[in-house]
Amino acid sequence: MTRRPQQIGNYVLEREVGRGGSSEVWLARHAHLEERQVAIKILTDNNKEAIQRFNREANLAGRLSHPQIVRLYDHGYTGVFYYSIFEYIPGGSLRQLIEKQHRLPLTDAVAIFKQIAVALDYAHSLNIIHRDISPGNVLLEQATGRALLTDFGIAREVDNTITIVHSVMGTPGYWSPEHAQSATLVSRLSDIYSLGVVFYVMLAGDLPWDETPGLNNRVFGPPLPLKQRGVDNLPVDIDRILQTMLATDPAKRFPTANAAVEELERVLVRHEVQTQINPQLAKGKKRGATRAQGADDQALTVLSTGVETNEVETVLGPTLIRAPIADAHKRAKELSQPEVIANLLDNWSRQGPFRRSLLGRMAQLHKVQSRNIYFYKVRILYEYRDPPYAVEEPDRHKEQLKLEPELDRWQVSLSPVHDFKDEPGMQITLPGSTKVIDCSDCKAKGKIVCPNCKGKSRILVKQAADEATGKRTTSRSSSAVRMQAAEPQTIETSRRAIPTTAGAATAVLPPEPSLVACPVCEGYGGTKCERCEGVGRLVQRDAFRWRRFVRDIQGNDDLPDHDEEYIRKQCKMQEIYCERASNGFRFEWGQIPTLRELIQKAQAATDDDTRILLSEVTIGFIPVTDIIFDLGKFDPGSNNEGLNKVSIYGFEHYIPPDWRFLNWERVIFICAIGFMFVLVVVFGFFAFTA
């Protein structure tokens, strides 16, 4: 093993303070500046890839200049060693502090969390992904309590990587699901996942799971509630924040580390209201002649609140797509600034010739309140199954029937459900319901007694004389039987012949009965049974028909003084949730009042014959900000008379037309000119035609 140098550049190595898989970290002191201490990282692995990574770490660290990131002073090569000289942070790592205290107080954990979050967002802004956020890579300065992020050894730039495909890098337990698949899939959202694990460990002293996911093909699941780890006296919404940061789907995590910090701050100061001072009033600007005495010299405070707490974020927080929600909070923060609202109102004033000019400059804000209007769509795939009915067929093949248990119609498995689509279905036989029965129509004989001859094969028919010829005929259903006469003309019967003379009147003989073969059954005495087709037995089964159909039910939050349908037409809705459930609805959906009503409507369509196979809930929102202001005519003692309310919709900052803010002087003036023009035209017409 090659011996370590005693001195690198102007720095004398004093003692080893850390060791990694391919490097050592030494505390060193400047040879001439005794108070100058640094940390020197020495590469101990001469592998080509290790050297490449070590140099890349130095290049990335050299680009980073932030109070919460350990600073790189120098990088080089001496003898057989590559080295990097870093800022020395006297104190220790976060891992050592957790090992010592097990759990950190909430205030300490939040302070560290915020500092590392700021460092992460800064690195991400430079397209640098750390990929190994863990307590061992967070240093704590003992004197100041400053937390710093270090060790960019496996970091990479978004568009530049030397990572081997399918390789896994990082600290086990702090991996994201993307880490466990391949290091090339790790993104800035993976760093946020790891930061969430670090925050959890600071509060609980343990990892968020009983078994570390990612090892031995263990599945990533939601974190255990902090209370289950024995952590009490914390706001319950902290669990929701952790669940969001540790979402297995990257899109459902906070889009930035700062978004997680802001949500944490909202949880910790949920009922705290921020106030801002209108800059114009702070300078003592006079309001107007109609303001109450003594109010002119007072600075008006603007009550401004962020996005109101709602059931959607509270109940479904960890499963929501976080980027639009973070944008909504950012929008609310921007609209809490009076100058931003003033510019919006001024721009609105310039969009129409009849609108009051400089509305934003005239408006004196009292309150700014933001919220989200949520729109819901419940898609349901129903399956209908008819009540069982009997079907039968002749037992021609005499097949051996299987002995199997008889199933209920809802126990029969049909084609699997993959998506929402209508299906006409078909007839299905119920297993275990097949049986052989004797045909009740023919009493198992295969033939039915002929209704014409009553089974006697013969029928008795009468003979009749032909009035035109005087011949006797025997009526049969199949053909007429005629008897030929001989000279002299006679009519032969079975008993006698009656002579006649030519030219004499024809005699009509009385009918006589005769037995003939039944023309219906052709002398068999019966006909083939149509039900059993002559077999005498039937195979009978119970069957049912099924079909599937899709229904959509939509609804939205009903806010006072807002036309939700109008808002939806004017602004683009941001979709933040789309999840499915089999055979019903998820429990958490019913905890949102509006969504619960839609689910109840969907369930009302079910009965013994109809069930829900698949359901899907889609949620979107449009942000709304209500501003309350006066135009210089507000009297504090007049019960809010003179106050105006205007709503700003969507990320487009759409403000609807409002007749209250028309320039009535201009409207009246133009109307008067128009009226006079009409009068001139009318009088001119009559004068011309007179």
Under 8 Å between Cβ of 168 and 175: yes
- Count up the domains in the chain and report the number: 4
Tokens of 120: 């992460």
pLDDT at 130: 92
Inside any domain, residue 345: no
Please report the pLDDT score of residue 541 as a whole number.
92
Query: Rounded to whole angstroms, how far apart are CA atoms 274 and 269?
Result: 10
Backbone angles phi, psi at 539, to 5 degrees: -100, 115
Compute CA 392 distance to the chain's CA centroid, rounded to the nearest angstrom. 47
Query: E strands of 106-229, at which residues?
Result: 128-129, 138-141, 147-149, 156-157
CA distance 136 to 24: 14
**Of all residues in the chain, what percent are helix, strand and coil, respectively (each to 5)?**
30, 30, 45
Report the C-alpha gap between 196 and 213 in whole angstroms.
Answer: 15
Q: What is the pLDDT of residue 394?
A: 94
Q: Do residues 78 and 107 both lie within one domain?
A: no
Q: Report DSSP state, residue 153.
A: T
- One-letter amino acid of 378: V
Let me know whether 69 and 217 are in one domain. Answer: no
pLDDT at 466: 54
The verdict on 31 and 123 lying in the same domain is no
What is the DSSP-derived secondary structure letter of residue 660? G
Q: What angle do CA 262, 264, 270 make, to 5 degrees?
A: 95
Boundary-marking domain end, from 219, 243, 267? 267
The residue among 545, 319, 312, 266 whose CA lies nearest residue 425 is 545
Q: What is the CATH number of the domain that holds 23?
A: 3.30.200.20
In this structure, is residue 431 part of a structural domain?
A: no
Q: Are residues 132 and 77 in the same domain?
A: no
Residues 51 and 182 both lie in one domain: no
The reply to whether 74 and 205 lie within a common domain is no
What's the DSSP call for residue 599?
H
Read off the amino acid at residue 180.
Answer: A
Chosen domain end from 35, 64, 87: 87
Instruction: Flag whether 634 is in a domain.
Output: no
CA 162 to the chain's CA centroid: 36
Asked whether residue 126 falls in the same domain as residue 187, the answer is yes
Classify residue 333 by burial, with Cβ atoms within 10 Å: 0-12, 13-18, 19+.
Answer: middle
Question: Quick one: tokens of 441?
Answer: 């129509």
Beta bridge partners of 647: 626
- Specify the DSSP class assigned to residue 101: H
Q: Give residue 230's pLDDT.
A: 92
Token code pair at residue 347: 């721009």
For every residue of 424-438, DSSP letters joined together read ---EEEPTT--EEEE
What are the mean pLDDT values of the chain's consecutive 10-residue runs (690 residues total)?
A: 76 86 88 88 86 89 92 88 91 93 94 96 93 94 92 80 57 88 85 96 94 80 92 90 93 93 87 40 38 39 74 88 92 91 90 80 88 96 95 90 89 92 94 92 90 88 59 45 38 44 54 84 89 92 96 93 91 95 93 95 96 96 93 68 88 90 74 85 80
Domain membership of residue 648 (yes or no) is no
- The Cα 141–Cα 147 span in angstroms is 6
Provide DSSP, 348-390.
HHTTSTTBPTTHHHH-EEEEEEEEEEEEEEEEEEEEEEPPPEE
Identify any residues that bridge with 549 across adjacent strands, giving them in sequence order: 382
Residues 119 and 49 in one domain: no
**Residue 283 has what pLDDT?**
41
| Residue 380, phi then psi, degrees to nearest 5 | -125, 135
Q: Is the pTM of this model over 0.75?
A: no
**79 and 167, same domain (yes or no):** no
Q: Where are the alpha helices (DSSP H) in 270-363?
A: 279-282, 311-316, 322-335, 338-349, 359-362
By the 10 Å C-beta count (0-12 exposed, 13-18 middle, 19+ buried), 203 is classed as buried
Q: Among all residues, which ones are annotated catalytic?
A: 132
Q: Which residue shows structure tokens 């909070």?
A: 329
Structural domain harbouring 669? 662-690
What CA–CA distance (Å, rounded) separates 499 from 511? 18
Nearest to 85 by CA among 93, 77, 96: 77
